[in-house]
A and B are shown apart, each in its own frame.
Chain A
C-alpha cells in the first residue's frame, strides 16, 4: 500500500502493508535505524517515537493508524529545543552505556519535558517507567532530566 508520512518534518512515501508496525517501516523500509527494536510487545520502550509530540511505542503502532499525524524520531528530536536540551544533558551527565535503549529513553524524556517543564521525581517515574535500560543507567537518566529541566550546566 502506497503511504506518505511526515517524519521529522519531511514527507516520506513508501509501500507497506497497513498493519505493519511503524517501527519496521522506519527501520527496514526507510533505513532509519535510530529507533530500536527491543521486545515487540510495548514492554521496553526502545522503539519510542513521538506522534504529534506524544510518546508512542512504534513496535505496536500499525503504520496505517498514523495517517496525517507528525512522526518524530530520534534522528529528528534534536531539531526541537527540548530535544536538543535533553541530548545535551544526556552527554553532560554521561548517561549512556551501551546506548541501545537510549533513543527510546530520550524520546520519552523529551515528551515529558515538553509537557511538564519542571518534573518532580514522581513525574519522572511515571513518564520513564516504560523504558527499560539493561545497563542500569536509571540514576543518571533521572539526573539528566533534572538538569535538562533546570538548564543547569554540569
Chain B
C-alpha cells in the first residue's frame, strides 16, 4: 500500500517544513487547545504567541511545558506515546512533563507522509513519520541550544541537552527550555541537524508507560461519543435494511407521543429521531412505522455474491508482478491447486459509530473520533453546503478504529440531521445499525497453483479476486487494474521461487459497501499463502517449518523469527491426539513475524486455543511493550475472525445484528500468548495490524496438523472438521 511518488513529494515538502526553510517556523498557527484530560468540548483556540513553536508539532511555553501536537490519532495502538517518545528523544525533553494535543485538520501540516493526507491506518504512523519527527525535534533542540549559546557567548557545540535543559559543562551553567523559549523563537533554524546515534537513545526502545491510559481507567477519557455541548439533543438513526434502499413513507404518529422525542428527521436514505436523550430517540425510532423502497438489491444473497466472485476469479486478472517463466514453472514438477475464500467482516469497534454536530448558517462544528480528520472536514463541508474552512473538526480518542473510522459517513449523516435543528445534536448509532450498515471487509477469493520439485516451490501463480477498496478510497492506489493494497504481502511474499506470478481481479460485490479492515490486504493474502504453504509441505512430505526454512535464503530476518518461534513454541515436541501446532510467517507492514498456534480440536469440530507463540522483528521497537500489546491484541482480533467472523447477506440485508450473532472471543477462550520482540537496529516497521494477519493461518494450520482437514474458507467450518474430510 506504499505509494512511492507520494512519499517523495511529501519528504521534500516536509523536510522544508520541519527545517523551517519553507516558513514553517513563521506560519501563523491557530491550534485549538485540546488537552487530553479535559472533558470540555469547546475551548478557546490556543495561540502560539509567546511560545517557542518551531514547527506544527512542538510548542514550548515560558514555564517549560512542552506541548506535542499529535498528527496521528490514538485508537488504542499507543501511537500518542510512541510519537511523543520520538519527539521527546530528539528534543531531549523531560518526558514526564509533555502535554499532548489532538491535531486539528490540516493535510498541509499533519498529512501522513505516506498517504499525503491526514490519515491513520496501514500500520504506518511510526514508519511514515520516523524521519520527520526526529528532524522536527532535532531542529527545535538545535535552536534552543543556539539561544543558550548566544546568551552565554559560547560555542553551541560546547553545550549539551537533557531533561528540557541546555547545559554548558565547562562553566556549569544551565538554562531550562522554558527560560529559553522566547529567545529560541528568534533563532534561525539550522541547516544541517545531526540526529542522535541510536545507541544514545534514552527513551526510544524503553517500555515506557503510555500517556493516554491513566484517564482510561477512571472514566475521565473523552471519546467522540462522550462529547457534551450546552443544549445538545440526542439522535439515533435507521437506514433502509436493504443496501441502496430509500425511505418511501414514514408514519410517526406513535413516535411523536413518546416523552422526550423532539423531532423526526426523514432524509432520502435514512430516518432519525431526535430526543432529549438516547432513550427517547431509540424508543421513538422503534415506534416509527417506515415503508422502505428496497430498490434493486432486495433479492441479493450471499450465494449470489459468491457465485459471481467465483466466476470472476476464473478469469485472467491484471498482472501485479511476474518473475521468471510462470508457464515453464507450472509445467515442472508436481502441481497443486487450491482456492481460498474469506467472508465479509464488520468492524464492530467497541465505541459505536457516532458524531456530534452543530450547523449554523455559516459554520459547521463536529466532535467525533476519526482516522481521517481532513476527509471528515471535506465531506461534512459538502453535506453542510459550506466551504471547507467553515467546518471545524474536533478529534477525540477513538474507542477502536480498525479501519471503520477511515470513512466519513457517520459525520455526513450527522450533518444531515443537524441541518434540520437549531442546536447541537449527538448522533449515536445502535449496535444493530453499526453491524448492518458498516463498510465491510470485502469477500475475497484467492486461487493458487504451485509446483514442487525436490521439496521446493518452482512455480507459483496467485490470483486475488475481490473488491478494490483503493479505487474508491485512494484512487492512486489502483493502477492498471491492480489494487496495491489487494496484492500487499502477495507480490512480496518471502519465499525464493524462481517462477512467480501474481494477478488481481477487481470484482466488486453488488450493493455491499467495502472498506479497510484491520490487517487490510495482507489479511487475505497471508491467510491464503500460509495455508497453501502447509498443503504444499504435506505434498512434499516435509515438516511445515523445515519446508519454509528451505526457501528463506533471501530473508534472514524472517528465518531468524521462524527459528526462534519454533524453539519457543516447542515445535516438533510430541502432542496429545487431536492437538496440533500451526505456523505462519509474514513480511507484512515491514515487520517480520513468525507465529505458532497450538489448538485442540474435538470430534464435533469445536476448537480450543491452547497456546500462541509469536516472534517479531519490527526493527527498532520504539516502545517494546506497545509492540507486545499490539501483537497480543491483534492475534486475538484475527483469531476472533477466524473462529467466528462472518457477515452474510439475505434479501439484500445483513443477517447479523449485535454481539449475540456477530461473536467475539471472550476471556475464557483466550490462551497464553507469548510475544518475543527481537532487538534490531533497522528502521521501525508497522505493528498495529500484524497480529490480525498472523493468527488465522497459524490456527488453520494447527487444525490441519491436528485433524488432517484442510480448511480453505474462513471462518472455520466446524462441520467440515467433524466430517473429517482430508485434503
Annotate B366-403 by CB proximity to A: 1 below 8 A, 0 otherwise: 00000000000000000000000000000001111110
Chain A residues whose C-beta falls within 8 Å of the C-beta of B279 in the assembled complex: 16-17, 20-21, 24, 28
B217 touches A102 (CB 8 A): yes
Q: List residues 61-83 of chain B with CB under 8 A from any CB of chain A.
A: 75-78
- Take A91-B213, A100-B350, A125-B668 as given contacts and tell me if A75 and B218 are in contact as well, using a CB distance cutoff of 8 Å: yes
Interface size on B, residues (CB 8 A): 64
Chain B residues whose C-beta falls within 8 Å of the C-beta of A115 in the assembled complex: none
- Take A20-B277, A31-B228, A39-B431 as given contacts and tell me if A131 and B667 are in contact as well, using a CB distance cutoff of 8 Å: yes
B217 touches A24 (CB 8 A): no
- How far does the alpha carbon of A140 sit from the alpha carbon of B57 in the complex, in Å? 32
Query: Which residue of B223, B226, B629 contacts A137 across the interface (Cβ within 8 Å)?
Result: B629
- How far does the alpha carbon of A147 sit from the alpha carbon of B478 in the complex, in Å? 50
Chain A residues whose C-beta falls within 8 Å of the C-beta of B637 in the assembled complex: 134-136
- How far does the alpha carbon of A31 sit from the alpha carbon of B402 in the complex, in Å? 28
Q: List residues 596-633 of chain B with CB under 8 A from any CB of chain A.
A: 625, 629-630, 632-633
- Take A41-B660, A129-B667 as given contacts and tell me if A35 and B219 are in contact as well, using a CB distance cutoff of 8 Å: yes
Q: List residues 656-711 of chain B with CB under 8 A from any CB of chain A.
A: 658-660, 664-668, 670, 672-673
Annotate B628-651 by CB proximity to A: 1 below 8 A, 0 otherwise: 011011111100100000000000
A146 to chain B, nearest CB (A): 13
Annotate A19-40 by CB proximity to B: 1 below 8 A, 0 otherwise: 0110010011101111111111
Q: Which of B214, B218, B282, B402 has the most CB of A within 10 A?
A: B218
Query: Which residue of A38, A94, A139 contacts B350 across the interface (Cβ within 8 Å)?
Result: A38
- Take A97-B629, A136-B636 as given contacts and tell me if A124 and B667 are in contact as well, using a CB distance cutoff of 8 Å: yes
- Take A17-B260, A136-B635 as given contacts and tell me if A100 and B351 are in contact as well, using a CB distance cutoff of 8 Å: yes
Chain B residues whose C-beta falls within 8 Å of the C-beta of A82 in the assembled complex: none
B213 touches A33 (CB 8 A): no
- How far does the alpha carbon of A128 sit from the alpha carbon of B351 in the complex, in Å? 19
Chain A residues whose C-beta falls within 8 Å of the C-beta of B278 in the assembled complex: 24, 27-28, 37
Q: Which of B213, B225, B665 has the most CB of A within 10 A?
A: B213
Does B348 make an interface contact (CB < 8 A)?
yes
A98 touches B350 (CB 8 A): yes
A43 touches B629 (CB 8 A): no
- How far does the alpha carbon of A96 sit from the alpha carbon of B664 in the complex, in Å? 18
- How far does the alpha carbon of A28 sit from the alpha carbon of B279 in the complex, in Å? 9
A98 touches B400 (CB 8 A): yes
- Take A96-B210, A139-B670 as given contacts and tell me if A43 and B399 are in contact as well, using a CB distance cutoff of 8 Å: no
- How far does the alpha carbon of A21 sit from the alpha carbon of B279 in the complex, in Å? 8
A129 touches B633 (CB 8 A): no
B260 touches A136 (CB 8 A): no
A37 touches B352 (CB 8 A): yes
A96 touches B217 (CB 8 A): yes
B237 to chain A, nearest CB (A): 14
Does A51 make an interface contact (CB < 8 A)?
no
A65 to chain B, nearest CB (A): 14
Task: Write the chain A residue with the least CB distance to B426.
Answer: A28
A135 touches B625 (CB 8 A): no
B219 touches A34 (CB 8 A): yes
Does B542 make an interface contact (CB < 8 A)?
no
Chain A residues whose C-beta falls within 8 Å of the C-beta of B276 in the assembled complex: 28
B428 touches A37 (CB 8 A): yes
- Take A20-B277, A33-B222, A35-B219 as given contacts and tell me if A134 and B210 are in contact as well, using a CB distance cutoff of 8 Å: no
- Take A35-B219, A36-B350, A87-B218 as given contacts and tell me if A94 and B670 are in contact as well, using a CB distance cutoff of 8 Å: no
Task: Write the chain A residue with the least CB distance to B225.
Answer: A37
Query: Which residue of A38, A124, A126, A131 contacts B352 across the interface (Cβ within 8 Å)?
Result: A38
Chain B residues whose C-beta falls within 8 Å of the C-beta of A137 in the assembled complex: 629, 632-633
26 contacts between A and B (CB under 8 A): A27-B278, A33-B39, A36-B399, A38-B350, A40-B430, A43-B658, A44-B659, A91-B217, A94-B629, A96-B212, A97-B76, A98-B75, A99-B221, A99-B397, A100-B349, A100-B399, A125-B668, A126-B668, A129-B668, A134-B350, A134-B400, A135-B350, A136-B665, A138-B666, A140-B632, A141-B667
**Nearest 6 pairs of A and B residues by beta carbon:** A34-B219, A136-B636, A100-B399, A98-B76, A99-B216, A97-B76
- Which residues of A are at the interface with B, using a C-beta cutoff of 8 A? 16-17, 20-21, 24, 27-29, 31-41, 43-44, 46, 73-75, 78, 87, 90-91, 94, 96-103, 106, 124-126, 128-142
